[in-house]
A and B are shown apart, each in its own frame.
Chain A
Amino acid sequence: MTQNEKDSLLQAAMDQHGDYIKRLIYTYVKDLPKTEDLAQEVFIKFYKSLDAFEGRSSIKTYLYRIAVNECQNYLKSWHYKKFEVTEKVKNWLKRDSFEVDFLQQEQNQSIGALVNSLPIKYREVIWLYYYVELSITDIAEVLKCSPNTVKTRLARGRKLAKITIEEGDFDYEY
């Protein structure tokens, strides 16, 4: 792939998917400055890996796979640093109640907020399916799991977020 082709692909990817990628990243990291850093990182990695892109998936799926990987890696490292003491101390302290109550009340306000309160594995499939509008197969490719796992998580996530789907709205993906 020539440099010009790569530059054009990068520009097209940023124009077509930049906003969506950035919003998706935010749903993982919930921090605007970090979202900006990761969005840049995603597009830089995308550009650098274009030579290795074999075209077995679409550019869109490929891009989202990089984004999800970046987010998951970031969360892992963050959790790793915080995990030990936080896990123990939270047993001892009552201080969580303010945050928990606050977030709970905020989350009760809308379906979107309810979705965002779900564990990541449910939240990500809902965002990828309903917001990014990827197919079940593409989500499976992005998350590196089977389509059946995606369907199960989507069904469970919808139930937890109290999303009601009219019959037939979901079946065509099977």
Chain B
Amino acid sequence: MSIKNELEKSLPTLIELSENEKAMIQAKVQQAPPSRYYWKPLLLSILAVMLIGISLLSMMQSSSPADSAAVIMEPEPEEKPVRAPLPPLTDEVKKQYYQEYVKIIDEAMASKPGMNISVVPIEQFEDDFWVTPGDFRKDIQSWVDHHLATEREKINEMLRGNPAPVITNENGHVTKKTYMYFSDILIAIEVTGNFKTAYHASRNRQIFSSVQDISTKLTEITRGAWKQTSSKATLLDGGRTIEIQIEGIFEYNTIRNEKRFTIEFYCDENGEIH
């Protein structure tokens, strides 16, 4: 067994520094301003003057200790809002807080369908976990915001880095690739639909008129299984965009996760779908 080969096999794809990237690097280093060597002596002189100034200052401070506190400017540590620690909670209050937590989590989940989160059982709450429901709400909201921002960022990065063509087959069905995000995991999935477009006289362009037979399939069949349970299409932007919301269940061996995601298809003025 070659460990080197094993390590290489663990990479998700063949990663290489392409000729394009090399050319881009060469171009970037050529754009960088040339070194200005004649600045070096000047910079060194300035540095030397500063050092002499600092040492003179410290000598002056040491000769007049009464003034030293006024001269030394220590940077103030950045102040953070400190939450007052909660007093010991009775079991009754804990129960009440916990119910509030569950409600807050339910509301957070409703803000992002398909995001499955739940609170750990009350018995697993350690003493320092307990916070007021208000603080709990703020922290969860902050976490959800971060999660959604990361989801958008990761999916966009993948789509930019690995652009896949939108494919139209001989039956006119159009397939487009996107990703489902599960925290640190991205699963590639293809969405296919039978789109119809029609000429819109007053706009003098083609727009979507309908979509049928929406189906989905994972692009890597070895990595889990996906079962689509529903789909809902919405016309946007005066018929130039169709947003499709898809729900389904992703399973990997014994793990099962419900997921909802959206994808948009665009119709250009000639009826081409992207």
A138 to B216, CA, bound (A): 49
**Which residue of B is nearest A113, CB measured?**
B10
Tell me the smallest distance from the CB of B45 to a CB of chain A, in Å. 20
B257–A110 contact, CB under 8 A?
no
Known: A18-B22, A39-B17, A110-B6. A85 touches B142 (CB 8 A): yes
Tell me the smallest distance from the CB of A28 to a CB of chain B, in Å. 12
Stretch at the interface among B111-119, B171-179, B205-213: B111-119
Partner of B11, one of A21, A23, A88, A111: A23
Contact with B along A1-33 (1 / 0, CB 8 A): 000000100110011001101110011001111
Stretch at the interface among A53-61, A97-105, A144-152: A97-105
A interface residues, how many (CB within 8 angstroms): 55
A17 to B23, CA, bound (A): 15
A101 to B184, CA, bound (A): 12
Per DSSP, chain A at the interface is helix
A23 to B11, CA, bound (A): 8
A40–B25 contact, CB under 8 A?
yes
Which chain B residues border A43 with CB–CB below 8 Å?
25, 29
Q: Does A91 contact B (CB under 8 A)?
A: yes
Q: Does A136 contact B (CB under 8 A)?
A: no
B161–A33 contact, CB under 8 A?
yes
Known: A14-B22, A33-B157, A130-B4. A88 touches B139 (CB 8 A): yes
B119–A110 contact, CB under 8 A?
no
Tell me the smallest distance from the CB of B136 to a CB of chain A, in Å. 8
A49 to B136, CA, bound (A): 48
**6 new A-B contacts at CB < 8 Å, known A18-B17, A94-B120:** A33-B157, A44-B32, A86-B146, A92-B101, A111-B6, A115-B7
Question: Which 4 residue pairs spanning A and B have beta carbons closest together?
Answer: A112-B10, A18-B17, A95-B117, A33-B161
Interface of A toward B, CB cutoff 8 Å: 7, 10-11, 14-15, 18-19, 21-23, 26-27, 30-36, 39-40, 43-44, 47-48, 51, 82, 85-86, 88-89, 91-96, 98-99, 101-103, 105, 110-113, 115-116, 126-127, 130-131, 133, 163
